[in-house]
Amino acid sequence: MHDFRHVNGKLCCEGVTIESLVKQHGTPLYVYSQKTLRDHFQELDRALVPLDRLICYAAKANSNLAVLRTFADLGSGFDIVSEGELRRIMAAGGDPAKCVFAGVGKTEPEIEFALRQGIYCFNAESEPELARINRVAARLKKVAPVAVRVNPNVDAGTHHKITTGTYANKFGIAFEQIEGVYARASKLKNLRLRGLQMHIGSQLTEVQPFELAVRKVAPLVAALKAQHGLEFFSIGGGLGIVYRSALASGDAKWWRTPEAKNIITPQSYAARLVPLLQPLGLHILLEPGRFMVGNAGLLVTRVEYVKRTGKKNFVIVDAAMNDLIRPAFYDSYHEIVPVRRKGGVTVSSDVVGPICESGDYFAKDRPLPKVRQGDYLALLSAGAYGSVMGSNYNSRPLAAEVMVSGRKSALVRARQPIGKIWEGERVAQWA
């Protein structure tokens, strides 16, 4: 589900042409549809109506203030992993009391800051972390709400770099150790055992691993509720999205592609999980990131050169792996469509960026309509883990970001001025 369509051959985000945005803001340019963001939140929330629930959007997927504000306005909570994310959420008008703080390496200053802001819960990932949270809370004369992240040892069947719920991963505490950990933690005076959390991985395209994990953990959480009065169970994020749409082939009914037909949906997710979760009588938290923003954003780039070497046709664009690292890092697939569709022949092309690395590519041997210098291409499904994973590699400025609502658009991050890239650096002055 998203709001990017070709209308009379011109790619539009809701009621705005991508060409008009490019004219105003240049490229590389991230474009987000606010309607898609809202629809995704509401669709997931609606599917889970039978539950006492709170969606805590995983801010790491896209922490632009405008995105955070959109979700905050819908009543969303947030899953955060750093002081920086908490500060962003506050800057965007989000409520710290709806924030859960994840991550294996929380520092003392981060714990102190989050505690002072009154977050909903720390999701602790080790016993030393519980001890540290207890110590900081004692120093501040507070009681810290905590949950422990259980590692259920269920293989999510996703890319190895985004699998988190097996014993080969650094995350959480092993399923078998959890009851002992809660028993010991219950003796720490400045902790309140508020819940249990899990997250098994990202881009899960089937419900089964979620179901296996919930089935395995539900009796544990019920026992912990009885023993320690837990109030919530967070089932994490991980809902996968469609990356291979048929938009490229000109089919507006992209959801009819084989990938789209079989993929997990809020409805199929809810149908299998609600019956397992409802009897627990707990507040259920979800931490979706990608599902909420992935298909709500695209990255527009300009064709700088077209060249043929040996047997290959290279389309060299002005976006690079510093703007969208997913293809280089996870071999991930992003649909590429022309901003203005002209028809004509299709050429098998490698779409590459200007960075001096062979890994700086967006597509290999991809059938693409023939393009020329100055044409614009859009990399779809780039709303999640796109701009947030951007860097200044090769001293390239961070891309601009625009949000669209109906016929309106707003620049929600200005392109980084080149001079700002080395701001804070100094030539060493030896005494």
- Which residues of the shown chain bind ligand LLP in the complex (CB under 6 A)? 58, 61, 79, 102, 162, 199, 202-203, 236-239, 287-291, 326, 330, 385
Give min distance, CB of 72 to ligand LLP, in A: 17
Active-site hit among 12, 56, 99, 356 = 356
Q: Residues 412, 66: contact at Cβ < 8 Å?
A: yes
Which residue lies nearer to ligand LLP by CB, 236 or 353?
A: 236
Smallest CA-to-CA distance from 260 within 19, 268, 324, 344 is with 268
Closest CA to 211 of 167, 276, 161, 298: 276
Ramachandran region, residue 331 (left: φ > 0; alpha: ψ -120 to 50; beta: rest): left
- The CA distance from 399 to 392, in Å, is 10
Asked if 70 and 38 touch (Cβ cutoff 8 Å), the reply is yes
Nearest CB to ligand LLP, comparing residues 289 and 338: 289
Cα–Cα distance between 16 and 79 in angstroms, integer?
A: 31
Nearest distance in Å: CB 371, ligand LLP: 26
Query: Which C-beta is closer to ligand LLP: that of 242 or that of 371?
Result: 242
In single-letter form, the type of residue at position 146 comes to V
Query: Helical H runs in 278-394?
Result: 290-293, 326-330
CB of 265 to ligand LLP, least distance (A): 14
How many other β-carbons are positioned within 10 Å of the β-carbon of residue 259? 17
12 is annotated as an active-site residue = no
Closest contact distance (angstroms) between CB of 2 and ligand LLP is: 16
| C-alpha span between 140 and 245 (Å, rounded) | 52
Task: Catalogue the long-range contacts made by 126-131 (C-beta closer than 8 Å, 24 or more residues apart).
Answer: 126/173, 127/173, 127/181, 127/184, 127/185, 129/104, 130/181, 130/185, 130/188, 130/191, 131/188
Closest CB 77 distance from ligand LLP, rounded Å: 12
Place of tokens 């905590």: 146
Nearest residue (CB) to ligand LLP, 160 versus 420:
160
Comparison of 224 and 328: residue with beta carbon closer to ligand LLP: 328
Minimum distance, C-beta of residue 384 to ligand LLP, in the bound complex (Å): 6
Q: How far is CA 417 from CA 179, 196, 398, 414, in A?
A: 52, 44, 8, 8
| CA dihedral angle for residue 344, residue 347, residue 350, residue 351, rounded to 10 degrees | 0
> Which amino acids are annotated catalytic?
356
